[in-house]
Amino acid sequence: MVNENLVKDVVKEPYKYGFVTDIETEKIAKGLNEDIIRLISQKKEEPKYLLDFRLKAFKKWQKMKEPDWSGLGYKKIDYQDIIYYSAPKQKEKISSLNEVDPKLLETFDKLGIPLTEQKKLTNVAVDAVFDSVSIATTFREELAEHGVIFCSISEAVKNHSDLIEKYLGTVVPASDNYFAALNSAVFSDGSFVYIPKGVTCPMDLSSYFRINSGDSGQFERTLIIAEEASSVSYLEGCTAPMFDTNTLHAAVVELIALDDASIKYSTVQNWYAGDEEGIGGIFNFVTKRGKCLGKRSKISWSQVETGSAITWKYPSCLLLGEESIGEFYSVALTNNLQQADTGTKMIHIGPKTKSTIVSKGISAGNSINSYRGLVKMGTKAKGSRNYSQCDSMLIGDQASANTFPYIKSQQPNSEIEHEASTCRISEDQLFYLQSRGIEFEEAVSMMVSGFCRDVFNQLPMEFAAEADKLLALKLEGSVG
């Protein structure tokens, strides 16, 4: 249920995550070439197979072209003008949180993600990533008792190299697309999760990504492996300071679910979106994909996309295992001059696979909000089903909404259902709520929350409230 008071609280606040932490950082030189990649790999003390993985990806990337099919309009990115590694300076080896720079802890405190033992969130384990490195991961010992591995991917490379070597790049190959190739070449940090056979992860796991530096990109990489009959719920949050330049964020997320395993992956994306004139903001080019490898496995994506100047993101599911299930629940809100092109791909490969897509796009201001999705039934996907619902809501008369559903079926014995609608918040609806004493801004939030309810119901509790707050915040002043 939507907490109306929460909505009220934040309606009047500007982007409150826009601060910069003044901290000494170690940055490498701008630019991208083989030496830079070798340097990143060396800094992270990586084994040779990983350096090879990076170099191979870089070679592929050099031959690829930046995609333009989405029609997103943005200033050409100069890939040589980006710093590919930026980390706060701290001691060589940190053995406990006490050795973490207090400024960093303070930063995460301010973001509502306290990390210290006394203050840490009680029901969720957090991996906090600051620019290119992971700062801390909470509840590691408790999770280890259950055999759950939750750490930064850099650490996993050191301590669980076998798993990394086995799975990295198996869901999103380096050559998958331009931004995935770039990420594969230069990825810095991110989270690693491994849930052993039969284990239900005892608490939600969460990664919090913070971009602090204005001239370095963030290229995180996340890998989640759920062994047979295990399950995990993973949350991801992101914020960045307000800069008048654009910052590139190109992440790759890979999920792997074996027989009867289930992974629920929720995102609240609130990168800085730029100002009202479209100056500044994050370019968010992300490749997220899950592989339902096992029978009856399930991968569920839910996302609330409110930030970024540009969003290009299609969390997808490869449904290989018989009777596996893929889900995608999305709310994308754009305001001012934001552009979002987001959706999913549900690739039905195995028989009796099922997928559900529920997408809610809200466009306000002069923004452009597009749903782009592919549902594919392969030749062996006999008895498979898909249901898609794509709804758009327009606020004001300058915003635009598009829906691009692609459907490919090579299997006659399968079902694909697609529903789409577009609506507008009408003056009459607003007047009706106002005539019952409900304030204008609150009336808008109520209607937007109502529109998104199907998706919010899929989010973990704390996240749903957070998402609701965010939407109210983003819509401030967009109506009327």
Partner 1 sequence: MQSTMKESDPILEVENLSASTDNLPILKGVSLTVYPGEIHAIMGRNGCGKSTLSKIIAGHPSYNITNGEIKFLGENINSLEPEERAQSGIFLGFQYPIEIPGVSNLEFLRVSTNARRKFLNKEELDTFDFEELVKEKLEIVKMDHAFLSRSVNQGFSGGEKKRNEILQMALLEPKIAILDETDSGLDIDALRIVASGIKKISNSQTGIILITHYQRLLDEIEPNYVHVMSDGQIIKTGESDLALELEKKGYEWTDNFIKET
For the CB of residue 471, give the shortest distance to partner 1 in the complex, in Å.
Answer: 13
For the CB of residue 375, give the shortest distance to partner 1 in the complex, in Å.
Answer: 25
Give the DSSP H or E segment for 221: strand 221-226
End-to-end CA distance of the chain: 27
Q: Which of 51, 429, 465, 476 binds partner 1 (CB under 8 A)?
A: 429
**What is the DSSP code (8-state) at residue 281?**
E
Query: How far is Cα 472 from Cα 449, in angstroms, rounded to an integer?
Result: 9
Three-state secondary structure call for residue 57: helix
Q: What share of the chain is helix, strand, coil (3-state, %, to 5)?
A: 25, 35, 40
Contact 294/257 with Cβ under 8 angstroms?
yes
Told to check if 433 binds partner 1 by CB under 8 A, we report yes
Binding segment (CB under 8 A) for partner 1, from list 32-40, 46-54, 347-355, 430-438: 430-438
The residue among 18 and 450 lying less far from partner 1, judged by its C-beta, is 450
For the CB of residue 279, give the shortest distance to partner 1 in the complex, in Å.
Answer: 32
Residue 46 neighbours by CB under 8 Å, 6+ apart:
157
Query: How far is Cα 42 from Cα 270, in angstroms, rounded to an integer?
Result: 32
Q: Which of 408, 431, 461, 477 binds partner 1 (CB under 8 A)?
A: 431
Query: How far is Cα 327 from Cα 344, in angstroms, rounded to an integer?
Result: 9
For the CB of residue 304, give the shortest distance to partner 1 in the complex, in Å.
Answer: 16
Q: Count of residues binding partner 1 (CB under 8 A)?
A: 26
The residue among 194 and 451 lying less far from partner 1, judged by its C-beta, is 451
The residue among 78 and 439 lying less far from partner 1, judged by its C-beta, is 439
Query: How far is Cα 171 from Cα 292, in angstroms, rounded to an integer?
Result: 10
Among 119, 118, 150, CA closest to 136: 150
Amino acid at 278: G
Phi, then psi, of 68 in degrees rounded to 5: -125, 5
Residue window 367-406: x/- pattern of binding to partner 1, with contact defined by CB under 8 A: ----------------------------------------
Told to check if 436 binds partner 1 by CB under 8 A, we report yes
Q: ∠ CA(423), CA(460), CA(394), 5° rounding? A: 15
Told to check if 256 binds partner 1 by CB under 8 A, we report no
The CA radius of gyration of the chain, in Å to the nearest whole number, is: 21
DSSP 136-171: EESSHHHHHHTT-EEEEHHHHHHH-HHHHHHHTTSS
Told to check if 442 binds partner 1 by CB under 8 A, we report yes
Task: List the structure tokens of 341.
Answer: 């092109």
Query: How far is Cα 60 from Cα 219, in angstroms, rounded to an integer?
Result: 17
Binding segment (CB under 8 A) for partner 1, from list 82-90, 220-228, 296-304, 432-440: 432-440
The residue among 98 and 426 lying less far from partner 1, judged by its C-beta, is 426
What are 409's strand-pairing partners?
377
Q: Which of 2, 36, 115, 143 binds partner 1 (CB under 8 A)?
A: 2
The residue among 216 and 478 lying less far from partner 1, judged by its C-beta, is 478
Told to check if 163 binds partner 1 by CB under 8 A, we report no
Told to check if 28 binds partner 1 by CB under 8 A, we report no
The residue among 74 and 440 lying less far from partner 1, judged by its C-beta, is 440
Phi, then psi, of 27 in degrees rounded to 5: -120, 145
- CB atoms inside a 10 Å sphere around CB 45: 9
For partner 1, the binding residues in 445-464 under the rule CB under 8 A are 446-447, 449-453
The residue among 137 and 478 lying less far from partner 1, judged by its C-beta, is 478
Q: Which residues of 254-278 are buried (b: 16+ CB within 10 A; e: fewer)?
A: bbbbbbbbbbbbbbbbbbbbbeeeb
The residue among 142 and 419 lying less far from partner 1, judged by its C-beta, is 419
The residue among 228 and 442 lying less far from partner 1, judged by its C-beta, is 442
Told to check if 347 binds partner 1 by CB under 8 A, we report no
Binding segment (CB under 8 A) for partner 1, from list 245-253, 315-323, 410-418, 433-441: 433-441
Side-chain half-sphere CA neighbours of 462 within 13 A:
15
The residue among 333 and 416 lying less far from partner 1, judged by its C-beta, is 333
The residue among 85 and 456 lying less far from partner 1, judged by its C-beta, is 456
Q: Which of 49, 66, 439, 477 binds partner 1 (CB under 8 A)?
A: 439
Query: How far is Cα 324 from Cα 341, in angstroms, rounded to an integer?
Result: 27
Binding segment (CB under 8 A) for partner 1, from list 102-110, 199-207, 235-243, 423-431: 423-431
Told to check if 4 binds partner 1 by CB under 8 A, we report yes
Told to check if 437 binds partner 1 by CB under 8 A, we report yes
Q: Which of 49, 74, 406, 440 binds partner 1 (CB under 8 A)?
A: 440
Binding segment (CB under 8 A) for partner 1, from list 99-107, 343-351, 366-374, 426-434: 426-434
The residue among 63 and 436 lying less far from partner 1, judged by its C-beta, is 436
**Binding site residues, partner 1, CB under 8 A:** 1-2, 4, 423, 426-429, 431-440, 442, 446-447, 449-453
